[in-house]
Structure 1
Amino acid sequence: MNKYLSLLIFIAAFQGVNAQYQTENLDLENNYIQPESIVKVGENHYFIDFGKAYFGNVEISSTQSQNDSLVFHLGEKLDGEFHIDRNPGATIRYRKSKLNQLLANEPVSPKMSPYKRNTTGAAIILADSIGAIIPFRYCEIENLKIPIESIQIKQKALHYKFNDDASAFSSSNAIMDSIWELCKHTIKATSFTGYYVDGDRERIPYEADAYINQLSHYSVDNEYTMARRTNDYFINHPTWPTEWLLHTVLMFHADYMYTGDIEPLKKHYDNLKLKTLMDLERADGLISSKSPNLTKDLILKLGFKKANTQIKDIIDWPPAQKDTGWKVALVEGERDGYEIVPVNTAVNAFYYYNLKLMTEIATVLNKTEDAAFYKKKAELVKTTINTKLFDAEKGYYIDGEGSSHSALHANMLPLAFDLVPEEHVASVAAFVKSRGMACSVYGAQYLLEGLYKSNEAEYANSLISDTVGDRNWWNMIKVGSTMTMEAWDVRHKPNADWNHAWGTAPLNAITRYMWGIKPKTAGFKVAEINPKLGKLTHTSIKVPTKHGFILADFKKETDKTDRYTITIPEDMSAEFILPKTLKKAYLNGKKVKRKALHLALETGTHHIKIAY
């Protein structure tokens, strides 16, 4: 078999057969962006840099007419100074188009040929009025025979409504600041369909992509409609990886925590129960995609259109070279050599977290018996994982039942999902740190969460701001992308794109775990603020909520004194979690009781001093 045939079959399984979703009547808008620079590179030939890539086209207007044709080149990548790469490789975008003439005082955009793969089948289809668009930063114009001063050219950027002023971040780490801005721009720019889609290659929603996109979107804007629309999409359009299905409950729970609205939980409760994959459970509580209970009837109930759809554990993406035929930098893909056995730790860590969240969901919906049922199941799964899948001699988890191998993923996921008993957190975290960034940009979401939760903030911060090699976010900026990429580098995924929002883990990790700002109660009625700032000497953040914006500022005055200024908007309060190592704390000038675990912050501005 041709080595690429298996790859095509493997990828085709992702696309499925879905009804086309269109962007008509969604809150999409065009933003017209002026060039940052225009350079004449030859006779009648100009190079234009708009500063950042957006999805869209250019719009050109002129005070003079040109009856001769103009040639336009749009692209994301350069292959030399002032020259767009005409053959950028992977799924990095480039398009050439022609404008037959330019009429005075009539704004016009050149027409581009669409890519078949992202404008047919399961792709989210753009309205006809939008036309073909691509992500691009650069433009070249050839055969411009009228003076450049007579024309005005703009980047016509399409995106979902977005409040640029709803969020902000700065710190004493300039690299971290750059990564945060990269991620924020990605969230805005990739919203061009009104759904959380994977990237420009397919423009299809996938659960794992969407969940990271959702958390990052919530961290920079208080607009929740796009997340809810995407969540609804997955009810009847699931995708086949086991872990992707197990993100569905996470997305609906996040929607509830940020909005406080229980209606989606009510409406889709029965489907969420199915999406936990509880039907695949065996007597000891663990699940397997190889279970005989995964019948054709269950496949259809889960929302798949074909009863013969194969659900398969994915662990991380891209998978091993043997699965794809790609010649990649790591032949095991992004799995850290994970041994995928039928009953594995990664899938069951997700399953435990699903049960934990379903306990909360059932409680909110006053389904008391269900809540007790899920709580009991969660306890059983946690006990079984820690009994059967934990290597007591080594002090960390194995990949699954019957395996003697331990990969990063088998340990970072238990850390992220609060599965690790307190007495083993240190040894599991130490193993996780020993593996470095042995996961994909997707897996990095859970790596960062697990590290911050296990009090490894300084190491997590170092991963976010790492500049060595290519397995970091800085490499995305270094190679020229202005959005997070699908993979660390194209050598790790030969068809990777430069516009994948699942690469924005640092944004939501900084907001939700480094600064520790997230809803404690549904609808952000009460916020939790639990800073784990590592060695940063100063940092400020603005976090959107449905009630307004939380403002937080930190300064390390001395080695033993920290100062925080926190502003809480109206109609909400917050709990500021105090570090366990403090000696004294002061709230608005008043000394706090020594045994206090947190500070209650009401609406308004508060000054907190902590001495060590």
Structure 2
Amino acid sequence: MKKYLCLAILIVYSALIHAQNNIEQVSLKTSLMKPHEVIKISEGHYLIDFGRAFFGTVQIKSKKSQSEPISFHLGEKLENPNKIDRNPGGTIRYSNAVLETLSEGELTTVSLVPDKRNTTGAAILLPENVGTIIPFRYCEIENLKIPIEAIEIWQKAVHYKFNDDASSFSSSNAVLDSILDLCKHTIKATSFTGYYVDGDRERIPYEADAYINQLSHYSVDNEYTMARRTNEYFIENPTWPTEWLLHTVLMFYVDYMYTGDLEPLKRHYENLKLKTLMELEGADGLISSKSPNLNKDLVKRLGFKKTGTRIRDIIDWPGARKDTGWKVATPEGERDGYEIVATNTVVNAFYYHNLKLMAEIAGFLNYKEDVVFFQNKAANTKKAINEKFLDKSKGIYIDGVGSSHSSLHGNMLPLAFDLVPKEHLKTVTKFIKSRGMACSVYGSQYLLEGLYKNNEALYASQLITDTIGDRNWWNMIKVGSTMAMEAWDMKYKPNSDWNHAWGTAPLNIVTRYMWGIKPKTPGFKVAEIKPQLGDLTFSKIKVPTLNGAIYAEYKIDEKKDAIYKIELPDNMEAEFVLPDGASKVVLNNKKIKKRKTSLALKSGTNIIKLKY
């Protein structure tokens, strides 16, 4: 009897593990995309451009039969205008398949060879009926003996449910519009597993990737189940970088602010406390991944299956040449020369931010003692950070204890997380601006947040829309990708891919900071709208919420007055934070006599006119 009981437990356990790495079949959708362009290369040889890359394969239906084999080449990248790159480099995808016969009237799906790395191990597995899929934009057909007009061919795209009409954006800057379009498509196309995964190379969820993915996804759709599934995954499946672990609290916090649902916070509160890594805190109020407290027991409690897992600081990715061995264009990697010391600025900036959010989370749950506990701990950590890491003579932060080096990362994270004392904001922002985009596409999330939060909107918008060189989003479009890339360019990360949602920072930054539309209270009962539209002369945005869409329009009229039209759904109010410098404020044709910093908006249409 005991033998059978053990066997039953083993079967259940195996099923749970299998379920953990798979998603419900019903969650995935299939869209058939028609060709954007068909180019005849030679007799029986055609290049088909579907316009955008999706994860999927090709489906074909013919009015005539062909008994001879037809060769299909699928890829993300072209070698020349009429040929798919067969050796695109890195993890840019190319695949070849042969269809032995083509039967008249049959709907045929081209079968692809699976990639071992992203279909085994820790990769999120797809339902068997989906088959093997890759990201591709182009299909090249060879040895087609029947007329091309006799066949119908589609890009069979696999993705999670996504409402294309839930959001929209347009502006007076065509480059900005193109970049946001790229990012929005990335969110839809990379949803093909039903989890927030890092990209096609591994198809594994990582916390930092998932957080940016979540912010961008919540900016364009009010579909929250994929984020929640991913958040749950991380409770039992954390990843090894210190800062990645420190994104867990951020993801659960954002979900609550957008949905107003306390249940995930209640259920995982103790685990979230653990994921702050406060057990690594020393007497000085700072944490270190070199702490002797990082033992096998803590590693196990954090959720790692292997107690020998080594948790270590990553700062930014990719790492330096000395770490990876890659011959990269920037030998120091994307860290701006950051000196990774045992007790360092970036890790502790994340730690402080975790403590602040945990104080709020404890308040949401009415854990009054914990509110005080986390508030005090956050205050002590902030004090320690500014005592240990802030070089007051220069007015900027060093990389950590024992370092004399100052980097972009060591300053942009304190700026983004409100750590910088008021008297040093000017020197910190000046230093940050001197470094340009000396971070990865991941790091840009925090660079841009810090700039928008500290009156540097114009410079931040210039970084987003920069078209010079290759360390910008325009370069992703220029090289031919239709999704955000893992790195600014292949030369900065030789194994990178062309389908990484962590590269979508502009999407959530424009929504949450340029337009400044965020939930002020949980569940978006009250929205915050704090526009910092820089040099735009007009813009329109539609932002989805749990309660309906927020529509906002902006234009500069012939008198150079700024006019905002804000439409709020029923049962929603908003705080509209007034931009600086307006000499006259009119709300719904009524002049606001008393000088205010914000306006209270009601559901329905609100017209705000600012005269400068």
TM-score range, shorter chain: over 0.9
Counterpart Cα distance in 2 of 1:566 and 1:293: 51
Secondary structure class of the residue paired with 1:491: helix
- Deviations 1:512-560 (CA, angstroms, capped at 9, x unpaired): 0010000000000100000011111111111000011101111122685
User: CA separation in 1, counterparts of 2:441 and 2:325?
Assistant: 21
- Contact 1:26–1:194 (CA<8 Å) still a contact in 2? no
Q: Which residue of 1 aligns with 2:584?
A: 584
> What is the aligned partner in structure 2 of residue 386 from structure 1?
386
Alignment match, 1:11: none
Q: Distance in 2 between matches of 1:512 and 1:194?
A: 24
Q: Secondary structure at the match of 2:452?
A: helix
Residue identity in the other structure for 2:158: L
> What letter is aligned with 1:422?
K
Encode CA deviations 1:130-173: one digit per residue, 9 max, x unaligned: 11000000001111111111100001000000000011111111
- Name the amino acid aligned to 1:557: D
Give the residue type in structure 2 aligned to 1:535: D
Task: Identify the range of structure 1 (258-267 vs 34-43) with the bigger mean alpha-carbon deviation.
Answer: 34-43
Q: Secondary structure at the match of 1:292?
A: coil
CA contact (8 A) 1:20 1:121 kept: no
Give the letter for the 1:43 counterpart: E
Aligned equivalents of 2:595 and 2:44: distance in 1?
A: 74
Equivalent in the alignment of 1:4: none
State the AA in 1 paired with 2:144: L
What is the CA–CA distance in structure 1 between the aligned matches of 2:285 and 2:390, rounded to whole Å? 15
* Residue number in structure 2 paired with 1:145: 145
Deviation of the 1:213 alpha carbon: 0.2
State the alpha-carbon separation in 1 of the partners of residues 561 and 344 from structure 2: 45
In structure 2, distance between residues paired with 1:561 and 1:289? 53
Q: Partner amino acid for 1:461?
A: S
Deviations, residues 1-35 of structure 1 (Å, cap 9, x unaligned):
xxxxxxxxxxxxxxxx9986012334110000100
Q: Quick one: distance in 2 between partners of 1:132 and 1:63?
A: 26
1:605 equivalenced with 2:598 (yes/no): no
Within the alignment, does 1:299 sit opposite 2:299 as a pair? yes
Question: What does residue 92 of structure 1 align with?
Answer: 92
- Give how far 1:68 is off: 1.2
Query: Which residue of 2 is the match for residue 593 of structure 1?
Result: 593
Asked whether the equivalents of residues 20 and 233 of structure 2 are also in contact (C-alpha less than 8 Å), the reply is no
Deviations 1:550-591 (A, max 9, x none): 011111226852110000011111110012322210100101
| Per-residue deviation, residues 364-399 of structure 1 (Å, max 9, x unmatched) | 101000010000000111111112211111111111
Q: What is the letter of the counterpart of residue 62 of structure 1?
A: S
- Structure-1 separation of matches of 2:201 and 2:601: 46
Q: Does 1:467 align with 2:446?
A: no
Deviation per CA, 1:16-66: give whole Å up to 9, x if none: x99860123341100001001111101111110000000000100011111
State how far apart, in whole Å, the 2-side matches of 1:63 and 1:593 are: 73
Q: Which runs of 5+ in 2 are unaligned?
A: 1-16
> Using the alignment, how far apart are the partners of 2:447 and 2:593 within structure 1?
35
Q: C-alpha deviations, 1:304-346, integer Å up to 9, x for none? A: 0111110100000001111110000011100000011111000
Where 1:425 maps in the other structure, the secondary structure is helix
The letter for the 2-side match of 1:410 is G
Quote the Cα distance in structure 2 between the aligned partners of 1:73 and 1:196: 28
Q: Secondary structure of 2:25's partner?
A: coil
Aligned AA (2:436): G
Structure 1 gaps, min length 5: 1-16
Runs ≥4 in structure 1, deviation > 4 angstroms?
A: 17-20
Which residues in structure 2 correspond to 1:455-494 (within 5 Å)? 455-494=455-494
Question: How much has 1:296 moved relative to structure 2?
Answer: 0.7
* 2:274 counterpart of 1:274: yes
In the other structure, the counterpart of 1:251 is 251
Supply the AA of the counterpart residue of 2:464. I
Mapped pair 1:46 → 2:46 = yes
Aligned residue for 2:426?
426
* Alignment-derived partner of residue 55 in structure 1: 55
Single out whichever of 18-27 and 44-53 deviates more from structure 2.
18-27
Amino acid at match of 1:133: I
- 1:228 paired with 2:258, answer no
CA distance in 2, matches of 1:406, 1:268: 37
Q: What SS does the corresponding residue of 2:183 show, helix, strand or coil?
A: helix
SS at match of 2:509: helix
Between the aligned partners of 2:426 and 2:560, the Cα distance in structure 1 is: 25
3-state DSSP of counterpart to 1:243: helix
User: What does the per-residue CA deviation read over 1:425-479, in whole Å, with 9 as the maximum and x for residues that have no partner?
Assistant: 2211111100000000000000000010011011000010001111000000000
Q: What SS is found at the alignment partner of 1:585?
A: strand
2:449 maps to which residue? 449
Map 1:327-406; keep pairs closer than 5 Å: 327-406=327-406
Secondary structure, counterpart of 2:108 in structure 1: coil
| More moved, 556-565 vs 456-465 | 556-565
Query: Relative to structure 1, is the Cα distance of residues 85 and 38 closer, same or farther in structure 2, using a 3 angstrom cutoff?
Result: same
RMSD over aligned Cα, in angstroms? Answer: 1.1
The alpha-carbon distance between structure 1 residues 558 and 453, as it changes in their structure 2 partners (threshold 3 A), is farther
Taking the aligned partners of 2:458 and 2:559, their CA distance within structure 1 comes to 16
The aligned amino acid for 1:94 is: Y
Determine if contact 2:196/2:230 at 8 Å carries over to the other structure.
yes
User: What corresponds to 2:438 in structure 1?
Assistant: 438
Residue in 2 that maps onto 1:198 = 198
Q: Is the 8 A contact 1:525 1:573 kept in 2?
A: yes
Which shifted more, 159-168 or 554-563? 554-563
Report which stretch shifted further, 136-145 or 421-430: 421-430
Identity of aligned residues (%): 68
Q: Distance in 1 between matches of 2:513 and 2:493?
A: 29
CA distance in 1, matches of 2:593, 2:162: 43
Whether the 8 Å contact between 2:258 and 2:519 is mirrored in structure 1 is: yes
TM-score normalized by structure 1? 0.96
Cα distance between partner residues in 2 of 1:55 and 1:29: 11
Q: What are the superposed Cα offsets for residues 94-135 of structure 1, whole Å, 9 maximum, x if unpaired?
A: 000001111111110111100000000000001110110000
Task: Please give the alpha-carbon distance, in whole angstroms, between the structure 1 residues aligned to 2:579 and 2:61.
Answer: 59
Match of 1:23 in 2: 23
Partners of 2:49 and 2:82 lie apart in 1 by 9
Letter in 2 for 1:116: K
| 1:317 match: secondary structure | coil
**Displacement, 1:594?**
3.1
Residue 81 (structure 1) shift: 1.3
CA pair 378-558 structure 1, distance change in 2 beyond 3 A: farther
Distance 1:572 1:425 in 2: 35
Q: Helix, strand or coil for the counterpart of 1:117?
A: coil
